[in-house]
Structure 1
Amino acid sequence: MPLTLGAPSIPNVLPFPLPHQLMGMWLNGRFDDAVRAKFFRGMQFGEPEGDPGWFGPDSATWYVHAHTPTLIFGLQCASYLERLDPSIFWMGVHHSRLVEKADDGEPTGRIDPAGAAVRLGHSLAFFIGTAYGSTDTAEKLARTVRAMHHTIKGTRPDGLAYDADDPDWLRWNYATVVWGIATAHEIYHPRPLRGDALDRYYAEFVRVGHALGGTDLPATKADTLACLEEYLPRLALTHGNAIATGINLTNPAQGAVDWAIRDTMPEWAAQLVMHRPPNPIERRARRSVVWSALNGLQASMGELPEFAAARARVAGGVTIAHTEPQYVVGTDPALDRAEVEAAL
Structure 2
Amino acid sequence: MDLIRRRIESQVIGLTGLALGQIDFETPKGDPGLFGPESVCWRVHGDFTSMLIGGISALLQALHPLALAGVWDHSNFRQDLLGRLRRTGQFISGTTYGTRRDADWLIDKVRTIHLQVAGHAPDGRRYAASDPDLLTWVHVAEVSSFLKAHLRYLNPQLPGEEQDRYYAEIALVAERLGARDVPRSRQAVAEYLDAMRPQLRCDQRSQEIVRILLAAPAPSTLAKPFGWLMLRAGIELLPDWASTLLELQQSPWQRRLIQRGVNQIAPILRWAVRNGAVHRARRRMGLPAR
TM-score bracket, shorter-length normalisation: 0.7 to 0.9
Does structure 1 residue 314 correspond to structure 2 residue 285?
Answer: yes
Number of residue equivalences: 278
Q: 1:270: Cα distance to partner?
A: 2.5
**Identity, % of aligned positions:** 28
Quote the Cα distance in structure 2 between the aligned partners of 1:69 and 1:261.
10
Mapped partners of 1:285, 1:143: distance in 2 = 42
154-163 or 237-246: bigger deviation: 237-246
Shift of 1:315: 2.6
Residues 143-292 of structure 1: pairs in structure 2 closer than 5 A: 143-189=108-154, 193-243=158-208, 245=210, 256-276=229-249, 278-279=251-252, 283-292=255-264
Alpha-carbon shift at residue 277 of structure 1 (Å): 5.1
Query: 8 Å contact 2:17–2:88 — kept in the other structure?
Result: no
* Cα distance change on mapping 1:117 and 1:127 into 2, 3 Å: same
Pick the structure with greater CA Rg: 1
Q: Determine if the alignment matches structure 1 residue 67 to structure 2 residue 47.
A: yes
Is 1:85 aligned to residue 43 of structure 2? Answer: no
Give the 4+ runs in structure 1 shifted more than 4 A. 31-38, 248-256
Contact 2:33 2:97 in 1 (8 A): yes
SS in 2 for 1:162: strand
C-alpha displacement at 1:31, in angstroms?
4.8
- 1:195-214 CA distance string (max 9 Å, x none): 22222211111111111111
| Alpha-carbon shift at residue 133 of structure 1 (Å) | 0.6
Matched to 1:118, the amino acid is G
TM-fit CA distance, 1:218: 0.6
Q: Determine the structure 2 residue equivalent to 1:333.
A: none
CA separation in 1, counterparts of 2:286 and 2:54?
29
Q: Which runs of 5+ in 1 are unaligned?
A: 1-17, 100-111, 317-344
Shift of the 143–62 alpha-carbon distance from structure 1 to 2, 3 Å rule, reads: same
Distance 1:29 1:169 in 2: 35
CA positional deviation for 1:190: 5.2
d(CA) in 2 for partners of 1:258, 1:31: 15
Residue 95 in structure 1 maps to residue 47 in structure 2: no
For residues 99 and 199 of structure 2, the distance between their equivalents in structure 1, rounded to whole angstroms, comes to: 38
CA gap of 1:245–1:309, structure 2 versus 1, over 3 A, is: closer
TM-score (norm 2): 0.85
Amino acid across the alignment from 2:196: Y
Q: CA deviation at 1:49?
A: 2.8
Q: CA RMSD in A?
A: 2.6
Aligned to 1:137: 102
Q: Contact 2:29 / 2:284 at 8 angstroms: preserved in 1?
A: yes
The one-letter code sitting in structure 2 at the alignment partner of 1:61 is C
Q: Which amino acid aligns with 2:263?
A: W
For 1:28, the equivalent position in structure 2 comes to: 9
Aligned 8 A contact 2:9 2:273 in 1:
yes
The more displaced of 202-211 and 191-200 is: 191-200
C-alpha distance in 2, partners of 1:250/1:310? 34
Question: 1:282: Cα distance to partner?
Answer: 5.5
